[in-house]
Amino acid sequence: MRSLSFFILSRLLPVVAGIFVLIFLVLDLSLRIYIVTGTREQLKELVSADVRLMSRKDQIAALEEGKPLLGETDAGGPLGMAGNAFILSDEGEVLDILHGEGEQVEDIRAFITGHREFLRAENLYIDGESGSYFISTKEDMLRPNALIVYFLDVTAVMRFYHAVIRVLLLILGTSVLLMGLCARWMARALKQKAQGLSDYAGQIGGGNYEAKRPECEVREFQELSDAMGRMAEKIDDSQKQQIAFFQNVSHELRTPLMSIRCYAEGISCGVMDAKKSSATILDETDQLSGMVEDMLYISRMDRHPSETDMEEADLREILSSCASRERQMAERGGLSFAFHFDDDPVLYLCHEQDMERLCINLISNAIRYARKKILLECLKQDGRILLSVSDDGPGIEEEALPHIFERFYKGKGGVHGIGLSIVKTVAERYGATVRAENRDGARFEVIFPL
């Protein structure tokens, strides 16, 4: 696994190196163009000023005016170099040095003699033993079988050019070194912040959910720290709820189990009527079975519903079907159902089992408190689906309203405090909102987004 320093350097180095290489190439090309253009212009002026290349009439006029054969040879042009020339025979012998030093002439003569293909050259760059030159050759109009070799000594210019290149390479190397040191310094600073977050995560993993949250100057690290803090709070709340859940479960299970045990012992000892006691045992067993089923369902509610497993279902049919299943219990209490449904299907993408569980719990709760009638509604309103169950009972006590959906909270007449908490959990899984209110009795609404 790579270190943080290497990670930062691997991101910075290509960018910085790319910028320096681009600068290097642009400067190198600019210098080369400047040198070549300057020497070409100066060689062109040098050749055009040579009387030997003029027509016979122009030569006589120039000589009468006292002009030298090669014209002015002082340093000039954009590069500030003096023009030089010598006459070379076709056999490679120096016939005359018009301007220039013997060492320079010999250096160029040796190159041309060794490379006969360059006897006719224009603005050619050569590297000799004693220096660097740009040369051009022309036939001598005054001597047959001879060439005039014009040259500019650019040794100093090329030394300057190579010195600039070396400085650029030195700057590039120094920059890479400084960048490495900078990356190391940055990595060390970031590592301290990351180590603080890592230690904090370790404390959370060890069960210390109240550990001090690290403060960071870097916004992204602070956001991560805040997110970890919120995660710790949720884990802490979840564990507390889990502990409370098991405590409540043990309490809720103990009551029916003790009742069953008492009636079973009464039957065994012959002090209780077997038929009546068996009926009580069956009722307690049914209640116990329903509670266990609810708790198992709650334990499976942690995972979010997968859309690949869901299908469109008509919520009207689900609500109506659940009412039919509970109709016998309702009629036993002298209750009747009323329906207020849309004429068109109310389709919703869901797990049908979840919707059935939600509706059964709402209807069962209404049966427990209703006096004569239970109203079931399923409507599309303003881009939402409203599913509600209302009863004409005494309503919900005001002090119980804020807690009615809490797990194991039992209001007046409640059984085991799980049913309405399942309603809320199912609703939240689908992004729906659930609420309870008093309106000529208790009314429970679940609003699903479309």
Summarize pLDDT for 158-185 with one digit per residue, the tens. Answer: 888 888 888 888 888 888 788 778 877 8
Residue 190 lies in a domain: no
Q: Are residues 154 and 24 in the same domain?
A: yes
Per-residue pLDDT at 304: 53
Q: Are residues 392 and 285 in the same domain?
A: no
C-alpha closest to that of 364 among 376, 353, 354: 376
Residue 113 lies in a domain: yes
φ, ψ at 84 (rounded to 5°): -130, 160
What span, in angstroms and rounded, lies between the C-alpha atoms of 236 and 131? 82
Per-residue pLDDT at 449: 92
What span, in angstroms and rounded, lies between the C-alpha atoms of 168 and 171? 5
Q: Are residues 55 and 83 in the same domain?
A: yes
Residue 41 lies in a domain: yes
Please identify, among 138, 161, 184, the residue that sits at the C-terminal boundary of a domain: 161
Residue type at 367? I
Instruction: Give the number of other Cβ atoms within 10 Å of residue 33's Cβ.
Output: 10
Q: Are residues 445 and 316 in the same domain?
A: yes
What span, in angstroms and rounded, lies between the C-alpha atoms of 449 and 433? 9
What span, in angstroms and rounded, lies between the C-alpha atoms of 442 and 450? 26
Please identify, among 251, 275, 299, the residue that sits at the C-terminal boundary of a domain: 299
What span, in angstroms and rounded, lies between the C-alpha atoms of 90 and 20? 48
Q: Are residues 16 and 149 in the same domain?
A: yes
Name the domain count of the chain.
3
Residue with tokens 């030997």: 52
Chain centroid to Cα 98, Å, comes to 73
Q: Are residues 36 and 144 in the same domain?
A: yes
φ, ψ at 197 (rounded to 5°): -70, -35
The residues pairing with 448 across neighbouring beta strands, listed in sequence order, are: 385
Residue 359 lies in a domain: yes
Q: Are residues 293 and 316 in the same domain?
A: no
Look up the CATH number of the domain holding residue 334.
3.30.565.10
C-alpha closest to that of 315 among 265, 366, 270, 355: 355
Pairing state of beta strands 373-381 and 336-341? parallel
**pTM above the 0.85 mark?**
no
What span, in angstroms and rounded, lies between the C-alpha atoms of 106 and 118? 16
24 and 168 in contact (C-beta within 8 Å)? yes
Per-residue pLDDT at 372: 93
For the chain, percent helix, then strand, then coil, each to nearest 5? 55, 20, 25
**Radius of gyration of the chain from its Cα atoms, rounded to whole angstroms:** 50
Per-residue pLDDT at 71: 46
313 and 348 in contact (C-beta within 8 Å)? yes
Per-residue pLDDT at 355: 93
Look up the CATH number of the domain holding residue 272.
1.10.287.130
Per-residue pLDDT at 258: 81
Look up the CATH number of the domain holding residue 99.
3.40.1840.10
Q: Are residues 288 and 355 in the same domain?
A: no
98 and 87 in contact (C-beta within 8 Å)? yes
Residue 189 lies in a domain: no
Please identify, among 278, 299, 320, the residue that sits at the C-terminal boundary of a domain: 299
Q: Are residues 140 and 37 in the same domain?
A: yes
Per-residue pLDDT at 79: 59
Q: Are residues 265 and 337 in the same domain?
A: no
Q: Are residues 153 and 11 in the same domain?
A: yes
400 and 412 in contact (C-beta within 8 Å)? yes
Sheet holding 124-127, edge to edge: 94-99, 84-89, 146-153, 132-139, 124-127
What span, in angstroms and rounded, lies between the C-alpha atoms of 422 and 432? 13
Query: Where is 332: in which H helix or E strand?
Result: helix 315-332
Sheet holding 336-341, edge to edge: 336-341, 373-381, 384-391, 442-449, 433-438
Residue 238's domain spans which residues? 219-299
DSSP designation for 417: S
Please report how many Cα atoms fall inside a 13 Å half-sphere around the Cα of residue 172, on the Cβ side.
Answer: 19
17 and 175 in contact (C-beta within 8 Å)? no
Residue 197 lies in a domain: no
Instruction: Give the number of other Cβ atoms within 10 Å of residue 414's Cβ.
Output: 17
What span, in angstroms and rounded, lies between the C-alpha atoms of 294 and 315? 21
Residue 318 lies in a domain: yes
Instruction: Tell me the pLDDT of the chain (450 aa) as tens digits.
Output: 566 667 777 777 788 778 888 888 888 888 888 888 888 888 887 777 665 555 555 555 555 555 555 544 444 555 556 778 888 888 888 888 888 788 888 888 888 888 877 777 788 888 888 888 888 888 877 778 888 888 888 888 888 888 888 888 888 888 878 877 887 787 777 777 778 888 888 888 888 877 888 887 778 878 888 888 888 888 887 777 677 767 766 766 776 788 888 888 888 887 788 777 888 888 778 777 777 777 777 666 655 555 557 899 999 999 999 999 999 889 988 999 999 999 999 999 998 989 998 999 999 899 989 999 999 999 998 889 999 999 999 998 888 888 888 877 776 666 566 788 889 989 988 999 999 999 889 999 999 998
Per-residue pLDDT at 72: 46
C-alpha closest to that of 127 among 155, 86, 162: 155
Residue 209 lies in a domain: no
Per-residue pLDDT at 324: 93
Q: Are residues 115 and 78 in the same domain?
A: yes
Determine the 3-state secondary structure of 442 from DSSP.
strand
